[in-house]
Amino acid sequence: MRIGLCLSGGGARGIYHIGVLQFIKEAGIDLSIISGCSAGALIGVLYSGGVSPEKLLNLSIKTKWFNFLRPALPNKGLMDLNYLEQLLNQNLSAEAFEDLKIPVKIIATNLISGKLRIFETGSVIKPVLASCSVPLLFKPVEIDTELFLDGGILMNLPASIIRDDCDILVGVSLMPVQAIKLDEINSSFKLLTRVLELSVQNNSKLQMGFCDILIESAQISNYSKFDLNTAEDLYKLGYQAAKIALEGKFI
């Protein structure tokens, strides 16, 4: 049985994915392919490159590996992704997709063509940077003379791109939409964040239909996409959700 895993974007909430992967590892579930967007692309590539869930969690707690996701002050303009590039270079031995232990497909939005691009061959680091480049916060990433931003603009849960590559497809969504209080939209940044969140949820609905099993926790809405201080809580939430959804399904 070919089992595929689709990891959505969601900023610092991506630590939830680490908990899911920890349960998958403990349950002895062999993955045939992984797809990812933004934080999901980052976690998926590192895991496929041989970085264990334990080490991923340790990185998220002991280092500032999600500092690149903190909002930029308006007078500083768009930020680059040097911090993330450094993290990948330090922890990923694979230089190309072909060197990864598990096949991975990740996505980014081509600003020139206005279309989604799927990356699955060639150099791996720049596509991960592109997939993680959140609009309005980070500079677009240039690949092959074209500019790319976060894949979540068009497809935050890239399930359909691996549907034909697996028999059972497990999707992990980090962006459930919950009602918020009026006073929570108290800045232009929070307004834009809310608009992007609603857009992301809308483009994820169709993709959820491609999944045989969907892992999603309503409680994750209580966690900021820009806060690393809740790493252990997110990890535990992901682990428990995966256990409920997957235990006994593949054994």
| Residue whose tokens read 């931003």 | 149
pTM, to two decimals: 0.90
pLDDT tens, residue by residue, 198-218: 777 777 888 999 999 999 999
Q: How far apart are alpha carbons 198 and 213 in whole angstroms?
A: 22
* Token pair recorded at residue 127: 């596509």
Query: Rounded distance, CA 228 to CA 206, Å?
Result: 30
| pLDDT > 90? residue 67 | no
Joined tokens for residue 200:
């992301």
What is the pLDDT averaged over residues 128-136? 90
Residue 249 CB neighbours (<10 A): 13
pLDDT-derived band at 82, boundaries 50, 70, 90: confident
Q: Evaluate whether 161 touches 35 at the Cβ level (below 8 Å).
A: yes
**Rounded average pLDDT over 40-57:** 97
The confidence score (pLDDT) of residue 179 equals 66
**In angstroms, rounded to a whole number, what is the distance separating the alpha carbons of residues 208 and 158?**
9
- How far the first Cα of the chain sits from its last, in Å, is 11
CA 178 to centroid of chain Cα atoms: 20
pLDDT band at 149 (very low <50, low <70, confident <90, very high): very high
Question: Do 215 and 172 touch, CB atoms closer than 8 A?
Answer: yes
Extract the runs of DSSP E, i.e. beta strands, from 29-137.
33-37, 104-110, 116-119
81 to 69, 87, 106: CA distances (angstroms): 9, 10, 17
Quick one: pLDDT band at residue 166, thresholds 50, 70, 90?
A: very high
Q: Is pLDDT above 50 for 98? A: yes
Check pLDDT > 80 for residue 115: yes
